[in-house]
Amino acid sequence: MIRHRLIALTLFTGILFAVPAAAQEAGVRAGVSADPDQFYFGGHFETGPLVDRLHFRPNVEIGIGDNVTLVAFNIEFAYHFPTGANWFTYAGGGPALNFIRFAGDTNSEGGFNLLIGVQHTSGLFAEVKAGLADSPNLKIGVGYAFRLR
């Protein structure tokens, strides 16, 4: 089990460093989820546009509550829609690797997320995720993104 975690973490870290260097950002996030009912927190990294307005936005989220601890490695892509001078909307999704600890047992499960969010040019954002397979059914969160230069 520990070997699988190390492999997943190594792959995830490798993906973070294998992206183009243009207009990158890193951010923090927190929110609540349903099924399981949890508080979650985490962080993300976002690349500059890969194609048109499509960005790679992997993130890690740790959920606590409902007698479950969930660590989600989300490999997500987000398409940015221009909506005004200071705000933009984004939508996307991607696969997830979820480590679920319940009653002393830890399991790894695959999932998939669909997401939609709004972000201010200052970095403040709000996001809603719908989970498929073994991802939480719904996540509502807020966060802040920092530009990396």
Range of the structural domain that residue 73 is part of:
2-148
State the pTM of this model: 0.83
List pLDDT tens digits, range 18-46. 544 557 999 999 999 999 999 999 999 99
List pLDDT tens digits, range 67-88. 999 999 999 999 999 877 899 9
Contacts of 119 (CB under 8 A, 6+ apart): 87, 88, 90, 125, 145
- The pLDDT score that the predictor gives to residue 82 is 80
Tokens representing 38 are 């949890």
Query: How many structural domains comprise the chain?
Result: 1
What number is the average pLDDT over the span 55-71?
97
What number is the average pLDDT over the span 84-109?
94
Cα–Cα dist 145/119, whole Å: 9
C-beta of residue 46 within 8 angstroms of C-beta of residue 78? yes
Asked whether residue 12 carries a pLDDT value surpassing 70, the answer given is no
Map tokens 């397979």 to a residue.
Answer: 133
Mean pLDDT of the chain: 89
Asked whether residue 116 carries a pLDDT value surpassing 60, the answer given is yes
CATH number at residue 49: 2.40.160.20
Cα–Cα dist 5/11, whole Å: 10
C-beta of residue 37 within 8 angstroms of C-beta of residue 49? no
